[in-house]
Amino acid sequence: MEELAISLVTGFHLWRHFGSPHFYVGPFDLYGILAHGYVGVELFFVISGYAIMMTWSHQTGDWKHRAHKFLLARLLRIYPTYAVAVVLWIALVHQGIAIKPTGLKDVVTHLTFTHTFFPETFFSISGVMWSLAVEVQFYLLFPLIMLLPLTSRGSLALASVIYTIAFFVIAPNASVVWLWSVIAYIPLFLLGMALFHIRSTLINYRLLIWPTLFLALILILLKDSDEMHMPIRVSIGALLGLAILAFAKLSYSNIVSIVGRGSYSIYLYNYIFLVTATPVAMGWIAAVAYFIAVMLFGLLMYRLIELPAERLRHLFMKKRIRVAAPAT
């Protein structure tokens, strides 16, 4: 699941890095899967909704206890690797390797995941960090959503209502702060949550997977501006999420599963690799080589930073569970 999402996003970043080429055939752009590869972020949000619903379902205790444990675990999962990336970007800017705003407001808002509230800080330190702010903001909303008696149908109905209001009532004249806000992306998280509720029956819809993927591919390849309209990209993310999560129980090769585990670090650090590694050649061979290099660099950061942080997180959470356990 994460493997496709990170491949799409990395492909998009490389497409821009190599000059944003196009090759039009009628109404289609054969580079569209790269030019619109940013829809991998939307796919990530669907997967995230599924994953956090699964995490919540495995927790015990009352709402307050589950909410506290959920938020602590998710923050410890996201923050260490993210904070290191922020520090690395600041170092690159101060060394003159990258040109990005790194003023006090930029740093504070990024470290508190509030940079998406202001146009001037939205993309300031790194262009990929906006989605982490959206992710964390949804984490804060998630326990409140769980107070609602939502079934799978209820989640889909709420997602449809928010989607309609966000993109057809408010969004036409909105700024990036609204268009890429947590409110605009709630429908994708809710879709992932709904798919978790019906996970046992997803196998019954396997015949719909290929038509769904085909429709998503057609939308991705359609000739359009480099940034397609938000309702379309959110719809593509929903289609991809619906199809890919139906494959969730299929086995993957070891290489693919490794990429999936390291997808967070690959996503977070690939811009760092791209600004420090100037292309020495152009063309498809060079692009493929850079794609592999970006993946390997992300996996290296996964081994050096994310994996040790995850081990510490698991130890910390286990210790908390033992301390909180009643004496027998």
Output the CA–CA distances (angstroms, integers) from residue 159 to 105, 143, 150, 189, in the order listed. 33, 16, 11, 8
Residue 81 has a CB neighbour count (10 Å cut-off) of 22
The structure's pTM equals 0.88
Flag the least confident range among 19-28, 70-79, 312-321: 312-321
User: Domain extents for the chain?
Assistant: 26-252
* pLDDT for 251: 44
Q: Name the token pair of 140.
A: 């804060």
- Please, which residues have CB within 8 angstroms of residue 136's CB and are 6 or more apart in sequence? 74, 75, 78, 113
Per-residue pLDDT tens digits for 96-133: 888 899 999 999 999 999 999 999 999 999 989 999 99
DSSP single-letter state for residue 305: I
Per-residue pLDDT tens digits for 191-234: 888 888 887 776 666 677 778 888 888 888 887 655 557 778 88
